[in-house]
Amino acid sequence: MALPPHLLIVESRFYSEISDQLVAGAEAAIAKAGASAERITVPGAFEVPAAIRFALKGLELMAVPRRYDAYVALGCVIRGETTHYDYVCQESARGLMELSLQFCIAVGYGILTCENYDQAWERARVDAGDKGGKAATAALTMLELKRRFGFFPG
């Protein structure tokens, strides 16, 4: 019998209160699905795609004891006074999409891109927007789609 899915949550800690809510939602959705997860942290949203690529490379090198069946990208970017916001939002999304397409991995996108802290808080809160839970559910849904097309596990 196959093991239940095992996910990697990659969490940006730049806005720690927001991240805590995103992770709580993701972990609840994963547990509800009967799956398991490991969690790693990175400084900001820009670093999330690289961390997932490191995990994939670790698998290639046989340095990781167990493969991850799907990935949940969590973080928050709040618009500031410079164009930095635009670059971080675009490049983190582009990096995750490229990983998804190039390596055929299931990724749940839970990086909030908001105008202000209040907007981010409402989207992150488990009892409101629960974007962390929705990102985990998206990853699990894409994993099921891989199964439907005959290449999960594998």
Catalytic residue annotation: 84
Query: Residue 120 and residue 89: Cα distance in Å, rounded?
Result: 14
Sequence-ordered list of residues with C-beta below 8 angstroms from that of 92, at least 6 positions apart, any chain? 45, 46, 48, 49, 73, 75, 77, 111
CA distance 122 to 102: 33
Phi, psi of 107 (to 5 degrees): -125, 130
